[in-house]
Structure 1
Amino acid sequence: MVEQKPFFLPYQVDFYLMLTEACPLRCEYCYIKDRDNPTRMSRDTMDLMMKKVQTKPRIIFFGGEPLLGIDDIKWFTEKYKDDVKVFQIVTSTFPKANFHELIENVIKPSSKPWELQLSFDGFEGSERKLVNTDPVAQQVYENILYTLEQGVKLQVRCVINDSNIYYFHDTYKQFKRMSEEYSGLFYADFTLVHETNLDSDFPEVLKRELGLILDDILTDESPFITAGLASMIGSILEDRKCMACNVGSEIIIRPNGDIYPCTMLSQYSEDFKMGHITDRELNTDIATDVHERPADCDTCDYNKYCFGGCRYERSYLGNLNEINLGYCEQTKTVVEALLAFRDKLYSDSCKNRDLIIERILRYRTWRSGMESTMDFEYMKFRGNQNAGIE
């Protein structure tokens, strides 16, 4: 008798439950296709997923807007509170009433760790709008303050795009002020938008704005270093890859039960579908295949720092096996800024060197410690991005 292999692999611990793909917002850069579709993930699907996991997972409530399924979140977190290591939600904070219910009736009473991630692109140049085109920046900001006043820890994630790239440094400074005012509660990070048709001056503006941020870190007596920057700076200091793609290390389950290796690829094509929650086994080869870099990466001067770019962007251009020059320009800009930062850090004039390196090491120790508590060989897969791919 042939032994049935496990449905989910041991290193797959991050499970994105796309409770719905519906959303009350119409962010300009959002990749979710069907934001008017009210279909929600069934509780049977969630139960079946939990039966098939091999370890205590991190459950990420995702969408669309997961708050539209607040009743399902309450049901799931109560039923599986002893079977999940960490709960996370990625939310725009709309609808407001549902967000308040999440804070007051789910997160605050919970005995389990929660990671609350809010989407906020700053006040200037934000393209987050409601279906009726009303801007949402002020309301999201008020929801952030409400959360902090409740004593709930949160992370704000800002997507840097064509519209707000000019205010990148200003937004960073605003987040730094909030991290000081709400020390231990407010955290922030930045993500570069996944688009193929950015303005031609985007790399140049990115170079200027990121350079200002890195100069602040070098000269500030109490530098504000986001998790993303800490990770990239740490990698650059060790001369390793810093522009990562986690495709395949996570499991994404759409409302209908289809399973994908990436949130963005789940919206692009069924070619990337690994299976369905009711299947006997998954086609995990898909995750391995999409993790490969294009052959052209081998001759690039920056290949020691880059994993080959966003797989969604490469697919969107029509060929997963070809490089995306737009992403390449972003990567070169970021890497060059980080290398310049490294040179300044090790110069005789840098007074903050020991403090900055201590902060970077503290972040990496925390991250490594968090990963080592997992009940699976996480680093063999996630670690392949630095150890197994050269």
Structure 2
Amino acid sequence: MAASDPVLWLLLTTGACNLRCSYCGGSFESRVVPYKTTYDLSKLRKLMEDDPEPTVIFYGGEPLLNPKFVMEAMNSLPAVRWGVQTNGFFVDLLPDEYWNRMSVALLSIDGRREVTDANRGKGVYDRVMRSLSKLRRFPLKIIARMAVTRLTDIYVDVTHLLNSGFDQVHWQLDVIWSEKWDVWSWAETSYLPGVRRLVELFVNELERGRVLGLIPVLGVLSAHFFEPYRASPCGAGYRSVAVSSDGRVLACPIAVREKWAVLGHIETGFKLMEPELPEPCNSCEYRRYCGGRCLYALRENYWGKDAEKVDEITKETIKSILSIIPKAEALMERGIIDREALRYDPILDSTEVIP
């Protein structure tokens, strides 16, 4: 790890989860991701000493099922920024003093009550919204972390979350673990028209001098006006590592079984990946905005040739966002928005950018 490159450290506090969402499957097996951490935090601290500005985000399973580890880590590790990705059920287990130190909380919620509860279980929506209300008391950014399924109306569900008090929203398409479904027909008739409406809403808000919290839009614009993504925008393997509860250092927090993802161990150190993309990603005209989208999906490719349909959805999404570049530039020239307001680094928030 080069000393000049800040790294996102995703710490899996446990492999256990209290939910079993339709697109996820719930807990990891305890033999793969132990339900309690089994390594010495002082070893992790030593590894982090080479990182000039480490960001630590707690992950799982459901990370707040192990609040003791969260507190111990926050008391001993040298992070400059703290966060958590949580389903929102156990925010009361972490004392207020730790929430006051958090920079970001990502709450898993899929939009309206009926969509969230259908995907994640009855009563989940109300539980998350109660947690949102509590966390609003603290000085941290709160991001809605959406999974988008065939039940989703992307415009309605995203604007619902923004209007409900979330600072930002990011989303991921249900196109990795689930059985193949007719994602392209759905995208043509529902998703992509909804994305275009969201992009139009974003530029309308820009005209008022406001940057709306749509992370896919903001992330693509940032890659246009500032630094392109060298590989997956989440930084998997080259700017971001996941430390499993057994001490393995992984390129991606969901790649807990795959040998290609193991970068090392906190006992022996680790080496970051060199960013590289396969064809056709490497020569794609949208590479700087997409970075190959998802390292795990690229490596595992559960959908085979049908993954090309996801690529087309990604390209159409990016084209919709790039269409507002001239308006954004005009607003900058008029002083209505500051160019820097469109800079976004997903590493700081542990977001993916490209759905």
Structure 2 length-normalised TM: 0.79
- Give the aligned length: 332
1:161-220 alpha-carbon deviations (Å, 9 max, x no partner): 124431x212332344345xxxxxx41121223624352324322221111111122334
Instruction: Flag the 1:27–1:354 CA change in 2: closer, same or farther, 3 A.
Output: farther
SS at match of 1:24: coil
Contact in 1 for aligned 2:17/2:62 (Cα 8 Å)? yes
Instruction: Note the 1:1-390 alignment, pairs <5 A.
Output: 8-10=1-3, 11=5, 13-30=7-24, 34=28, 39-42=35-38, 44-53=39-48, 54-55=50-51, 57-80=54-77, 83-95=78-90, 99-102=91-94, 104-108=96-100, 112-123=101-112, 124-126=114-116, 133-148=121-136, 150-166=137-153, 168-179=154-165, 186-193=166-173, 195-196=175-176, 197-198=180-181, 199-204=183-188, 205-220=190-205, 221=208, 223-226=210-213, 228=215, 229-236=217-224, 244-248=233-237, 249-264=239-254, 266-279=255-268, 281-284=269-272, 287-288=273-274, 291-303=275-287, 305-317=289-301, 324-342=307-325, 358=337, 360-364=339-343
Residue 62 of structure 1: how far off its partner (Å): 0.9
1:343-368 alpha-carbon deviations (Å, 9 max, x no partner): 56568xxxx6768972552242x869
Residue 65 of structure 1: how far off its partner (Å): 0.6
Q: Distance in 2 between matches of 1:165 and 1:236?
A: 28
Q: Distance in 2 between matches of 1:125 and 1:293?
A: 35
* Percent identical residues: 17
Indicate the RMSD between aligned Cα atoms, in angstroms.
Answer: 3.5
Q: Structure 2 counterpart of 1:159, which letter? A: M
Q: Distance in 2 between matches of 1:163 and 1:71?
A: 38
* Residue 351 (structure 2) aligns with: none
1:54-103 alpha-carbon deviations (Å, 9 max, x no partner): 235222111111111111222222334xx3212211111123xxx12325
Contact in 1 for aligned 2:13/2:37 (Cα 8 Å)? yes
Q: Structure 1 counterpart of 2:46, which letter? A: K
Q: Distance in 1 between matches of 2:130 and 2:256?
A: 31
Q: Distance in 1 between matches of 2:85 and 2:297?
A: 22
Q: Distance in 2 between matches of 1:45 and 1:25?
A: 28
Q: Structure 1 counterpart of 2:173, which letter? A: V
Q: Distance in 1 between matches of 2:34 and 2:335?
A: 47
Q: Distance in 2 between matches of 1:139 and 1:41?
A: 27
Mark the runs of 5 or more structure 2 residues left unpaired by the alignment: 349-355
Q: Distance in 1 between matches of 2:12 and 2:171?
A: 20
SS at match of 1:189: strand
Contact in 2 for aligned 1:115/1:154 (Cα 8 Å)? yes
* Residue 374 (structure 1) aligns with: none
Residue 227 of structure 1: how far off its partner (Å): 5.8
Residue 235 of structure 1: how far off its partner (Å): 3.0
Q: Structure 2 counterpart of 1:107, which letter? A: W
Structure exhibiting the larger radius of gyration computed from Cα positions: 1
1:15-37 alpha-carbon deviations (Å, 9 max, x no partner): 11101010001122237761677
Contact in 1 for aligned 2:14/2:36 (Cα 8 Å)? yes
Q: Distance in 1 between matches of 2:28 and 2:185?
A: 31
Instruction: Flag the 1:273–1:314 CA change in 2: closer, same or farther, 3 A.
Output: same
Instruction: Flag the 1:93–1:134 CA change in 2: closer, same or farther, 3 A.
Output: same
Q: Distance in 2 between matches of 1:319 and 1:160?
A: 17
Instruction: Flag the 1:360–1:189 CA change in 2: closer, same or farther, 3 A.
Output: farther
Structure 1 length-normalised TM: 0.73
